[in-house]
Amino acid sequence: MVAGVAGQRIGQVRSERRVRSLILDQFCLGREREARRKIFQARNVEGNSRRVQFAGIKFIAREQFRQQRTELLDEAGIETQVICVGAEQPYFPDSAERAREAARFANDFYKETVEKNGGRYLAFGCVPLPHVEDSLAEAERCLDELDFAGINLACSVAGQPLDTPAFEPFWEEMDRRGAVVFLHPNMHCDAPMMGDYGLEGTAGGCIEDTIAGLRIMYSGLASRLTNFKLIIPHLGGTIPFLWQRIEDATKRRRAAGLDIPLEGSPLDVLRRFYYDTVNNGANALQCTIDAVGVDHVVFGTDYPYLTHKECVDSVLNSGIPQDHIRAILDENAERLLQLERSLQWQPS
């Protein structure tokens, strides 16, 4: 999920401002055969056709990418978009070499995409976890050499939660830098009875978001390290809906003398996180605003599952105040990603 800036006016919201949006986009890395070998191998996706079918979505080859994506962005009025690998992370626990190669390939591809499209794209990089030293090196390359806007992680790494103690040096470095870390579900929730009716996509991803966010909070990771900026997609999964339950459960555990590494209020930590709008429902959006405050809600899309325009229209037609719409579509991502400058995209 990524960040974007819209150049067209939509309704009366944008006036003279361009919309900046935080968008989660999952698309083919291009060089389709090489990309499948390096990245999609983690999902056991096979095939030699020029289109890859994955979870019911067709990922297109590189030569079709620019035209199709540009048309979708123009339709929605999004000027600049932040792109990332999403669920297709380079997590190969048995081979540090393969993980390094896959992460480097993906990040080089995104850098090329950013450079060749004249300001239309920014990027979040990926890292070869669970190999921490390699991940630190690749994160440094992403943030310093490639000038990426942040780092994209899956909600878990090869079956390990993100608060695994072995990953602490990585989080310490993200915190030292004040880096933006954007989460994305793996989209293979292993809960029983999740395999039918498309529940993995409908509910499983949001469950992953919820568990990852709560673990980062409850483990004390976000209490010890307070400078990194975490973005949880899909309006935080179910976190805003469980708001009071989270506080009550924490009080009960503490009263019972059960150990919780978390320092202070769980809700104060959760309010520091950011939540993207990918749930496309006015009630869910309002619930999240009420819980965390509108200044920590950023715009997102769920392409290719939803079009960019559907996601923009969902915010515009949500019934929330105009200043909230402006904050979500523009100001919050601008502040989070430190985009004080006006990004100028010139169509070619």
Q: Which domains does the chain show, CATH number per domain?
A: 2-336 (3.20.20.140)
What percentage of the chain has pLDDT greater than the value 70? 78
**DSSP code per residue over 81-150:** EEE--TT-----TT-HHHHHHHHHHHHHHHHHHHHHTTTSEEEEE---TT-HHHHHHHHHIIIIIS--SE
H or E element in which residue 154 lies: strand 150-154
Average pLDDT, the chain: 82
Confirm if 68 and 60 have CB atoms less than 8 A apart: yes
Yes or no: say if 236 and 210 are a contact pair by the CB < 8 Å rule: yes
Bond before 165 cis per omega within 30 degrees: no
pLDDT at residue 70 in the model: 80
In 10 A of CB 132, how many CB atoms?
A: 18
Instruction: Tell me the pLDDT band of 240, cut-offs 50, 70 and 90.
Output: very high
Is residue 219's pLDDT more than 70?
yes
Q: What pLDDT does residue 54 have?
A: 30
pLDDT > 70? residue 4: no
Q: Smallest Cα–Cα separation from 266: which of 253, 284, 279?
A: 253
In this prediction, residue 345 carries a pLDDT of: 37
What would the 3-class secondary structure string for 5-73 be? EECCCCCCCCCCCCEEEEECCCCCCCCHHHHHHHCHHHHCCCCCCCCEEECCEEECCHHHHHHHHHHHH
Q: How confident is the model at residue 64 (pLDDT cuts 50, 70, 90)?
A: low
- Residue that wins the pLDDT comparison between 80 and 123: 123
Q: 49 with 285: CB under 8 angstroms?
A: no
Task: Please state the length of the chain.
Answer: 348
Residues 6+ apart with CB under 8 A from 134: 96, 99, 100, 103, 127, 128
Model confidence over 251-304: pLDDT tens digits?
A: 999 999 998 899 899 999 999 999 999 988 999 999 999 999 999 999 988 877
Q: How far apart are CA 28 and CA 40, in angstroms?
A: 10
3-state secondary structure of 160: strand
One-letter identity of residue 270: L
Asked if the model's pLDDT at residue 340 lies above 80, the reply is no
3-state helix, strand, coil in the chain (%, to 5): 45, 15, 40
**More confident of the two residues 293 and 32:** 293
Residue 184: per-residue pLDDT = 94
Per-residue pLDDT band at 39 (split at 50, 70, 90): low
Distance separating alpha carbons of residues 114 and 118, to the nearest angstrom: 7
- pLDDT at residue 208 in the model: 95
As a whole number of angstroms, the distance between CA 189 and CA 121 comes to: 30
Average pLDDT over residues 144-156: 96
Residue 13 in this model has a pLDDT that exceeds 80: no
Check: CB of residue 181 under 8 Å from CB of residue 174: yes
Residue 293 is classified by DSSP as: -
- Over range 318-342, report the average pLDDT: 87
Of 11-20, 131-140, 141-150, 322-331, the poorest mean pLDDT is in: 11-20
| Residue-level pLDDT at 41 | 52
> Where do the DSSP E strands lie in 198-340?
229-232, 274-276, 297-298
Cα separation, 209 vs 269, whole angstroms: 16
Which letter, b or e, does each residue of 207-230 get, where b requires 16 or more Cβ atoms within 10 Å of its Cβ? bbbbbbbbbbbbbbbbbebeebbb
Contacts of 177 (CB under 8 A, 6+ apart): 143, 227, 228
